[in-house]
């Protein structure tokens, strides 16, 4: 065994453990990301590696993922959307989208996230 191989063996996790961690993240991503596809794009929307790529970023620590769960009967972003007048506006219009992105950014920054 070369010196480099010996160093890797001593400092790295077993491949099986890494793959299991990636598989857990992929499964979580599949459960929490709901896709509303109106028209499938071949090779993109059905790419089996999309969640794996995201999982690799999570497992390697390049990004962090957090699951947000709204309380029953409440908007996920609670007061942030009401304060901006988004509750009654038409969803998916340009103004609604910008207001929602601003509300989400404000919420995440308040939580110390980027």
Q: How far, in Å, CA of 107 to CA of 48, rounded? A: 32
Classify 73 in phi/psi space as left (phi over 0), alpha (psi -120 to 50) or beta: left
Neighbour count for residue 103 (Cβ, 10 Å): 21
Asked if the model's pLDDT at residue 7 lies above 60, the reply is no
Higher pLDDT, 48 or 24: 24
pTM: 0.56
pLDDT score of 20? 92
What's the mean pLDDT in 16-31? Answer: 90
pLDDT at residue 94, rounded to an integer = 77
Residue 1's pLDDT is what?
57
DSSP 4-21: HHHHHHHHS--HHHHHHH
């Amino acid at each position: 065994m070369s010196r480099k191989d010996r160093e890797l063996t001593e400092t790295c996790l077993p491949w099986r453990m890494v793959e299991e961690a990636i598989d857990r993240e992929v499964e979580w991503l599949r459960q929490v990301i709901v896709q509303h596809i109106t028209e499938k794009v071949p090779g993109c929307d059905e790419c089996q590696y999309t969640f794996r790529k995201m999982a690799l970023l999570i497992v390697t620590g390049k990004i962090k993922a957090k699951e947000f769960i709204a309380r029953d009967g409440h908007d996920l972003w609670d007061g942030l959307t009401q304060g901006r007048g988004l509750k009654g506006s038409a969803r998916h219009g340009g103004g609604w989208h910008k207001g929602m992105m601003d509300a989400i950014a404000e919420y995440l920054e308040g939580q110390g996230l980027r």
